[in-house]
Structure 1
């Protein structure tokens, strides 16, 4: 069978979740597993975390129902709430929590008759300017829901635009707005995403929402002792399927973008943009061959790419190639390093791994 496989380390996932909890010991942590757990497999990741996670968060009803039908009974919050009024019946049936960010969602909830009150998180636009009520409108929404038998366990939530940045000025502006609002309403908060969980204790509320950090990626601009403790959950591993020597000046790949500066040994690796590996990977993008760093050379093709293995004496057909993650000898290639060479972020690489790449899970389910 084709050797490209995404290996998912469930023990690393649990480790990273516990690290999020340790960063904010006075908060409860929602494990964000939207977008199929950032490409790792939502149901499998939820099962692995079920004994530890206080709640899960997803983007939409379909993702929540998949978890419920897979046997997950842990609380699940819909981060974007409902997209149509008829979804409220599903929210009620599957005992989901929901965010509200628009007046029509509040109106729909107040016109609905759930079997039991639905936990509601009111989303505030504190400066991200995507979803949420303007701060000056929140008090009225809060009052409506506080008096409504349809709603329970009200929280305020928001999202930071720059929590990952070293420049904290805009983050502080958002925090100031949210702290004032929470004080006025005496409201519990859910604010901290992964970077805020790691770097901004002031944002830690009743709940935090770690996401990308659960999968081993550093969401901050710089490394910290906490980010250095993250473990990669996905190892995207393949093998060399062909080897050839090329003379100095010879081109490799479509368009001849890369030309050998000297006589070079070129390995062909199973894996390409048809699997989700980024076609924008530049010459020099790192991979591990038998645990040694080697540069990608030439444009990525649909099903394969090429690597200069001139410095790897033991490279043969069948040798291990790690596109990101942990090699068999223990060497680690950070997905964040790969993302920088592709002019993108780890989120797009992880969520972009396509279904034809099989996932293999390691470590016992919870």
Structure 2
């Protein structure tokens, strides 16, 4: 019996979630966001299965090169762009598209001799105030990109929403209005919508949508689950019950004795911990799925183990499977109990976890 946690990745569910994106934004092309190891699901495997996507987006050059090395030929966009002029020949050689979001990148494009032209996406800061060209500089930067001999005709224009997951916020509408104002005289393709905007703000879809989290069957909205949007969970994280012991009323369990038994009960020990990516700050009561029921976390999460309250009438056995999140138990619920977001849980999974891909033809 292996004590190693297993992350099963349902590639058919992944494809179905992409089809859901296409249903929601039928007139848009799909730039599938695969940064951070495809949100912890496996960069190359996910890209190989998303054959219906029009292009892929990653954060950094090493992610893009990993896709090219694996034989991925679809367009790849660098969401953070390039960092120095010396990288431009590498982008050209690997047919990578770059976002331009600052003056230094623009100068590098203007001044670096290249043996070809690059596809460029111009990122405009409409209110996120993280990356992007200031609205007052957009016309100037756009003109210079058009005049730059290293840039292919057909610059794509984009921005990023700061509050698209807050349905009662006016920020998204304000950002959209500013973007439309800045781009009204520019006959270019637009990209604004992340997962939250795809689901809730159809006016933002434009020519390109950028799904990330929703591809993996997870809701970007607080209090919602992927199933609420007709999405299917892609990851199922599980481990095994490795010990069962009886404790008496008043006994404490785990570091610092933070959980105390109210009655005589049985405690189960499951082989997963923060060393595998399970959230250390998951609170007592966080659900775990075991033998057709939810059992609550009992005590502080350890590096290699968690403990759960099996109840006084425990019939569980050592070796039984425990599901930490997946179709049986929404990851959004676990994230809420750990006072974090599903993004972090997915990205924190460590190499100790074994990956199994379901629906993989090769």
Distance 1:125 1:365 in 2: 42
TM superposition shift of 1:313: 4.3
Distance 1:26 1:295 in 2: 45
Compute the RMSD of aligned alpha carbons.
1.5
1:163 alignment partner in structure 2: 164
* Pairing 1:7-18 to 2, within 5 Å after superposition: 7-18=8-19
TM superposition shift of 1:173: 1.0
Distance 1:231 1:224 in 2: 10
Which secondary structure does the structure 2 equivalent of 1:273 belong to?
coil
1:329 alignment partner in structure 2: none
Which of 319, 325, 333 in structure 2 is aligned with 1:337? Answer: 333
* Pairing 1:64-79 to 2, within 5 Å after superposition: 64-79=64-79
Matched, 1:243 2:244: yes
Change (3 A) 1:92 1:19: same
Which secondary structure does the structure 2 equivalent of 1:136 belong to?
helix
TM superposition shift of 1:116: 3.1
Change (3 A) 1:239 1:224: closer
Distance 1:324 1:171 in 2: 31
Matched, 1:349 2:345: yes
Q: Can you give the 5+ residue segments of structure 1 that lack an aligned partner in the other structure?
A: 327-331
1:257 alignment partner in structure 2: 258
Distance 2:314 2:16 in 1: 36
Which secondary structure does the structure 1 equivalent of 2:137 belong to?
helix
Distance 1:294 1:196 in 2: 35
TM superposition shift of 1:224: 8.3
Distance 2:282 2:78 in 1: 34
Which secondary structure does the structure 1 equivalent of 2:99 belong to?
strand
Q: Answer with 243-252 or 223-232: which moved more.
A: 223-232
2:43 alignment partner in structure 1: 42
Distance 2:131 2:22 in 1: 27
2:285 alignment partner in structure 1: 284
Change (3 A) 1:348 1:224: closer
1:130 alignment partner in structure 2: 130
Contact 1:182 1:188 in 2 (8 A): no
Contact 1:198 1:227 in 2 (8 A): no
Contact 2:217 2:226 in 1 (8 A): no
Which of 341, 359, 362 in structure 2 is aligned with 1:363? Answer: 359
- How many equivalent pairs are there? 360
2:188 alignment partner in structure 1: 187
Query: What is the TM-score normalised by the length of structure 2?
Result: 0.96
* Pairing 1:143-158 to 2, within 5 Å after superposition: 143-152=143-152, 153-158=154-159
Distance 2:95 2:211 in 1: 22
Contact 1:47 1:365 in 2 (8 A): no
